[in-house]
Structure 1
Amino acid sequence: MEGLANPRGVSFGPDGWLYAAEAGTGGDGPSIVSGDGQTVSFGLSGRVSRYRSGVQEVVVDGLPSLAPAGGFGATGAHDLAFLDGVLHAVLGFGANPALRANLASAPGSELLGQVVSVSGGTVSAVADLAAFELTDGPDDEPNSNPFSLIALSDRFIATDAGGNDVLTVSRDGAVAITAVLPKGSYQPVPTGATVGPEGEILVGQLTGFPFPVGGANVFAIDGIGMIDVLAAGFTNLIDVAYGNGKLYALEFDSDGLLGPNNTGSLFEIGEDGIKRLVYGGLNSPTGLALGVDGSIFVDENGVSPTDGRVIQLAPVPLPASLPLLAGGMTFAAAVGSWRGRKRS
């Protein structure tokens, strides 16, 4: 896929198409100051595109979007999931949820920070994550930027990169905190999420300022909200994916957001407790999906308003004698296989 506007999450639908969420390019509507200090303006430029057998098409457009002048690094449609065959999307916000009222003159702006469903061309609100963070979130200074969405059999799991928490969303739109990621000397900033082999929720960590190299983890959250550091030593993780018996972690910027480069890397996390570099030099990657045949699909140029794309990476077996070790990272508790580990 190519020509995407700030692509983020990618996911296969039950129809076999590969879907990509596009955060859009903002617009010329009302503006607010986002959590990172930028002035961002509203527009209905977000969309969802899909691809199959050489055909790329837009299936949903007119979704809410916020972006600075020029459209780079927009906030909007961040991820996709299907529940009962119905397409759902999570829309980011990236600021104090109270500021959403400043956009109220623009129809559609109320959907920012929400999980929405898309059926028959109609976009409907399902759950207001931003409003939840404002009234019930864990931070004294509320911020909401919903980022990842997973559909389970009877509910959704969403990460909020602004609220630093993982949320459960019921079918009727009720929101509850599943887990609050631990804070250290910087904000945790949860990003991509996936379901692990034991049904646990696996969550990648971007980290907040100063975006330390090697400071990001993959967390595992069990059914009662207990958090375990599954893997450590990553930099600015943007997505994780589990499939075909393999767990992958995608770095958005492998030398840190304050470093001179803007290329990321894809790692496989083995059962031996080692992370292995699979691909490097990916240009601002922002999303990750796995095909049933083991193929890997990655968003590139994920903060570009015009040049976003999805590329397919063919599986590359690593010779047993030549593992590509990246720092020799082992799992935090050194408890053996990540499939069969015990939590503390």
Structure 2
Amino acid sequence: MITRSLLCAAVAGLAVLVGPAPAAARPPLRTVATGLDSPRGLAFGPHGELYVAESGRGGVGPCPAELEGGLACLGRTGAITRIAYGSQQRILSHLPSVAAPGGAGAAGPSDVSVDSGGHVYFTVGLGGGPRRRGPLIAGATGLYRAGPDTAVPAGLGAAGAGSNPNAVLVTGRDRLVVDAGRNALLRVGPRGRILTVATFPRRTVAAPAGLPGGPPAGTPILMAPTPTSVVRGPDGALYVGELTGFPFRPGQARIWRVEPGRPPQVYATGFTGVVDLAWAPDGHLYVLEAGTLLRVARRGPHQVVSAGLTAPGGLAVRGRHAYVTDCGVCRGTGSVVRIDLG
């Protein structure tokens, strides 16, 4: 099962394959936070404070399962960090995290969202299929709301061993969760009731060359997209980014437009692996993928805003600046950078 840790690492390698962007597409980066453990999603609070989900570095165990091909050890090293007034502080710590011994490939808190009252919600998506996760890992996966002293589960824990929440968006009375395990966009009610807003259809694609044990290149295969991110657009609709399975296929990932009660519609195409989405006040949609920040064009090629990012894990836009978690798979050296949108 795909997690943001696998996505961040894979698209970082893919950025090397697709080549660097022109120098003109690399505006100066300003670092606003450092010393983070596998930073992923981020979001602004009602007073301009910036919150970051840190997936942590796993722990000393137990090591009940394998995730994404290797031994995974459970720990309490995940965190939520707040950046405000030129300083940063971990306002929540000791959150669930799994990683290889030594902290590589961490999965844990994957996204964060803040409502108008300043209440902080975050997802913990620990990856791995239901057959590969021990009960300790499966039980820690879900949507959480930060309480006065700790994090209190707010539903989704009962979604089953296959649940893998990647992203959260709290807007108005809605708590929306992208669940990669279910291939769905979910709404979690105040009492934890889970409703499916949309599921995303499979499609037939040609098998790539060089898949160990896979079908011959060009063989038609049925592929389910993996949703990764959700944002509400200026038109009130929801926009969901996707992956297209591993190995990633340049240009095949899409962005979906979702209106509750209607089938999802393709809004934009031509992406490799969407890590995160954000709308800017000027009405442009920005996409984070493959070490690159893009401005979406409905017609013609998408515009590269910034390239050369290292395994980025999340995106938020405020005013004329984008904020990106850089080195989203790095233990202790992850950061948040600010990019001028021009």
User: TM-score interval w.r.t. the shorter chain?
Assistant: 0.7 to 0.9
- Mark the runs of 5 or more structure 1 residues left unpaired by the alignment: 104-108, 135-142, 254-263, 317-344
2:141 to 106, 113, 119: 113
Q: Contact 1:156–1:169 (CA<8 Å) still a contact in 2?
A: yes
1:106-255 equivalent positions in 2, closer than 5 A: 112-129=140-157, 131-134=158-161, 143-184=162-203, 185-244=222-281, 245-251=283-289, 253=290
Instruction: Calculate the TM-score normalised by the size of structure 1.
Output: 0.79
Tell me, yes or no, if the aligned pair for 2:65 and 2:134 is still in contact at 8 Å: no
The size of the alignment, in residue pairs, is 290
Tell me by how many angstroms 1:180 deviates: 1.2
Match of 2:341 in 1: 315
- CA 1:34–1:165 in 2, change beyond 3 Å: closer, same or farther? farther
Distance 1:24 1:241, change over 3 A: same
CA distance in 1: counterparts of 2:172 and 2:300, whole angstroms: 30
CA displacement at 1:145 relative to structure 2: 1.8
Q: Which letter does structure 2 place at the counterpart of 1:300? A: D
Specify whether residues 187 and 33 from structure 1 end up closer, same or farther in structure 2 by C-alpha distance, changes over 3 A only: farther
Structure 1 position 57 matched with structure 2 position 95: no
Aligned pair partner of 1:31 in 52, 63, 68: 63
Amino acid at match of 2:314: G
C-alpha contact (below 8 Å) 1:11/1:20 kept by paired residues: yes
Amino acid at match of 1:294: R
Identity of aligned residues (%): 33
Query: How much does 1:34 deviate?
Result: 4.2
SS of the equivalent of 1:2 reads strand
SS in 2 for 1:213: coil
Find the aligned partners of 1:9 and 1:250 in 2 and give their Cα distance. 11
Q: What residue number does 2:46 align with?
A: 14
Once residues 121 and 276 of structure 1 are traced to their aligned partners in structure 2, the CA distance between those partners, rounded to angstroms, is 44
Give, in angstroms, the shift of residue 119 of structure 1.
1.9
Residue 92 (1) aligns with residue 134 (2): no
Alpha-carbon contact 2:66-2:133 (below 8 Å) kept: no
CA distance in 2, matches of 1:225, 1:36: 34
Displacement of 1:273:
6.0
Post-superposition shift, 1:209? 1.5
* CA-CA distance at 1:272 after TM superposition: 5.1
Measure, in 2, the Cα distance between the counterparts of 1:94 and 1:187: 17
CA apart distance, 1:36: 2.4
Cα RMSD of the aligned pairs, angstroms, is 1.9
Report the Cα distance in structure 2 between the residues aligned to 1:313 and 1:31, rounded to whole angstroms: 39
Q: CA deviation at 1:110?
A: 6.5
Q: CA deviation at 1:99?
A: 5.9
Q: TM-score, normalised by structure 2?
A: 0.80
